[in-house]
């Protein structure tokens, strides 16, 4: 369904965000993208949304190379890839209902269709009672549910959730992950970029690990492993023990 073939992306300032990254994702897959900040996880999302194209390599979605898509067709691509952004991007002067329905209005859907579609999504994410509230009136978990709902309103084939449990307490974080798993069971491919080691290690789903723009592992039942530089070497450990 989704394929990255030796994808490299270098920004204009010379920074290499991704280097020779290759992986495939099957329909209805669920996986985690892990790695330190700056490893390239968000760059993958931006490439999927065609904010820019790879410097080298190719990205395919159902055998269609993304770089070949005309600019006028990029909005259609973005309906197929739902993005739950780390910084939310909710409009503070719009209610939950209005934030979720905005895309449908832009696409020219009728009011009856919009009301029915948003109602179904609100039910899925358990925000029926919060439909008329503004983002500032929501809890952290409710904001994240609203972001996921907005990403789902177009009926995407892929949902990319960028740090969906960041700044949430453990119980709420698990509720969000349970929601993502439910969405996946309904047939949507789900990619979760995260630093939450407890959730990754508990679920034992597929894990793609990135470090400094390179893909260093792809495990079917993976764990959130520390980098070699972040773990103590035996020599360092002995020195610290002597100082005590």
The alpha carbon of 44 is separated from its chain's Cα centroid by a whole number of angstroms, namely 9
Q: Tokens 């939310």 belong to which residue?
A: 88
**Contacts of the segment 14-22: beta carbons below 8 A, 24+ positions apart:** 16/213, 17/43, 17/213, 18/43, 18/44, 18/47, 18/54, 18/210, 18/213, 18/214, 19/213, 19/214, 20/57, 20/214, 21/57, 21/210, 21/213, 21/214, 21/215, 22/57, 22/215
Task: Give the SS3 label for residue 242.
Answer: helix
In this predicted model, what pLDDT tens digit does every residue of 133-158 receive, in sequence order? 999 999 999 999 999 999 999 999 99
Task: Give the SS3 label for residue 34.
Answer: strand
Which CATH fold would you assign to the domain 2-225? Rossmann fold (3.40.50)
Which segments of the chain have a pLDDT < 50?
228-244
Q: Give dist(CA 34, CA 9) in Å, integer.
A: 18
Per-residue confidence (pLDDT) for residue 57, from 0 to 100: 97
Task: Give the SS3 label for residue 139.
Answer: coil
Domain locations in the chain as residue ranges? 2-225
Six-digit token string for 90 = 């909710």
Per-residue confidence (pLDDT) for residue 4, from 0 to 100: 97
DSSP designation for 138: S
Per-residue confidence (pLDDT) for residue 232, from 0 to 100: 40
Q: At what angle do helices 111-124 and 96-106 cross, to 10 degrees?
A: 130
Please enumerate in sequence order all residues whose Cβ is within 8 A of that of 17, keeping only pairs 6 or more positions apart, or say none: 9, 10, 11, 40, 43, 213
* Per-residue burial over 62-98, b = 16 or more CB atoms within 10 Å of its CB, e = otherwise: eeeebeeeeeeeeeeebeebbbbbbeeebeeeebbbb
Per-residue confidence (pLDDT) for residue 227, from 0 to 100: 52
Is-contact 187 152, C-beta < 8 A? no
Per-residue confidence (pLDDT) for residue 241, from 0 to 100: 43
The alpha carbon of 146 is separated from its chain's Cα centroid by a whole number of angstroms, namely 14
For residue 170, which phi and psi values (nearest 5 degrees)?
-55, -40
């Amino acid at each position: 369904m989704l394929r990255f073939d030796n994808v490299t992306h270098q920004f204009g300032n010379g920074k290499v965000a991704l280097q020779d990254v290759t992986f495939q994702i099957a329909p209805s897959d669920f996986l985690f993208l892990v790695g330190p900040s700056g490893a390239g996880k968000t760059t993958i999302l931006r490439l999927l949304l065609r904010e820019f194209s790879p410097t080298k390599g190719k990205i395919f979605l159902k055998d269609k190379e993304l770089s070949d898509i005309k600019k006028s067709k990029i909005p259609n691509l973005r309906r197929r890839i739902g993005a739950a952004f780390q910084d939310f991007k909710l409009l503070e002067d719009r209610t939950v209902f209005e934030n979720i329905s905005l895309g449908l209005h832009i696409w020219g859907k009728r009011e009856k269709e919009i009301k029915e579609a948003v109602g179904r999504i609100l039910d899925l994410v358990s925000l029926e009672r919060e439909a008329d509230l503004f983002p500032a009136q929501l809890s952290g978990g409710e904001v994240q549910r609203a972001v996921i709902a907005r990403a789902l309103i177009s009926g995407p084939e892929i949902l990319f959730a960028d740090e969906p449990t960041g700044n949430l307490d453990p119980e709420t974080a698990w509720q969000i992950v349970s929601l993502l798993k439910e969405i996946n069971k309904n047939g949507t491919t789900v990619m979760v970029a995260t630093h939450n080691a407890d959730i990754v290690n508990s679920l034992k789903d597929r894990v793609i690990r990135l470090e400094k723009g390179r893909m260093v592992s792809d495990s079917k039942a993976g764990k959130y492993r520390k980098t070699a530089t972040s773990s103590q070497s035996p020599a360092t450990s002995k020195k610290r023990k002597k100082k005590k």
